Amino acid sequence: MNAFLESKRELVASSPHLSDAARERALLRIDARRAQVADTQSGEEGDETGGEEEPGEPPVPGGIGMGVIYNDDFRADFGTGTAIEFYIACPRQPGGNVATWLYLTAMNRATDGVEAFISYYGQEDFHFKVFDWARDDQSHWQVDLPYDALAPYVAQVSIEGTEQSCVYVMNYTYEVESGTWANEAYLQNFDTGNADLIYRYSYVSTAGAQRSGAEGWWGPIVETFQASYTGTRPLGFAYTNVASQQNGVWGAWEHTTPENSWIREDGTGFKEIVFSPNFTMIVDS
């Protein structure tokens, strides 16, 4: 955890997407989390329980391995709401040398939005999780559905001529009434044909706060927590669309493209095997 938080601190400190004030707020949050982790670890010293290592608490999302980063203008180009919809291509287990956490995640551009995403730990079956940036540090983690609970939400999908096991995620952040915003995460139920509401939370915010800050500037990414990857199964995302709300009215969905976003690659071993810039990206290693 300490190594992850240190890497996230370096990422925030060097990010060109943050104002000085937003960078300072983000660094303060990370430093507070580091202090909390240090206190927890000091209380666990001398615990020699033995046995297999448990995964423990998942790391806070925030690193980048490979994926879509919104251009600055596009990131802030919404008024009273923003949303994202996309397929996550997610084999049951990741394969290869994955030995720790690996996330397939995204944000919808709102600073206090949610990450509704697929989480792997080692070669275990994936989980669907929700991490809500609008909540305080003690309650960010809100949903954790294991693979066995997700049968209606997993389907084989044809992506650019290849068959991939996928979930379909819809993620909204919008103003409910003046000063009150809501985060919502949906999963497409392939048995019923409906989008099922998995999570909702209302909170106090403003449009200005949602368009700036330390979070919100990454689209679909493969988020990595080890130095390099080899032999992984195909995974990633497809058919990504983003929508904006202005004065309570939703506009049309639009693709993520090279005109509104760019692809970041951090050299962890992943390579594109299916790529429609910047709409679809399936990778392996």
User: What does pTM read for this prediction?
Assistant: 0.84
Which of 136, 159, 143 lies closest to 87 in space, CA to CA? Answer: 159
Distance CA 154, CA 91 (A): 10
Mean pLDDT of the chain: 88
Each residue of 3-38: pLDDT tens digit? 545 655 666 666 665 556 556 655 665 665 566 445
More confident residue, 149 or 61: 149
Each residue of 234-255: pLDDT tens digit? 999 999 999 999 999 999 999 9
CA 100 and chain centroid, separation = 17
pLDDT of residue 70: 97
CB 98 within 8 A of CB 232: yes
Each residue of 210-236: pLDDT tens digit? 998 889 999 999 999 999 999 999 999
pLDDT at 48 exceeding the cut of 60: no
pLDDT of residue 24: 63
For 196, left (φ over 0), alpha (ψ -120 to 50), or beta? Answer: beta
- Could you tell me which residues come within 8 angstroms of residue 9 by beta carbon, excluding any fewer than 6 positions away? 27, 30, 31, 34
Which of 181, 177, 175, 156 lies closest to 167 in space, CA to CA? Answer: 156
Element (H, E) at 254: strand 254-255
Distance CA 122, CA 97 (A): 8
Distance CA 148, CA 226 (A): 26
Strands annotated E in 28-126: 66-70, 81-89, 101-105, 114-121
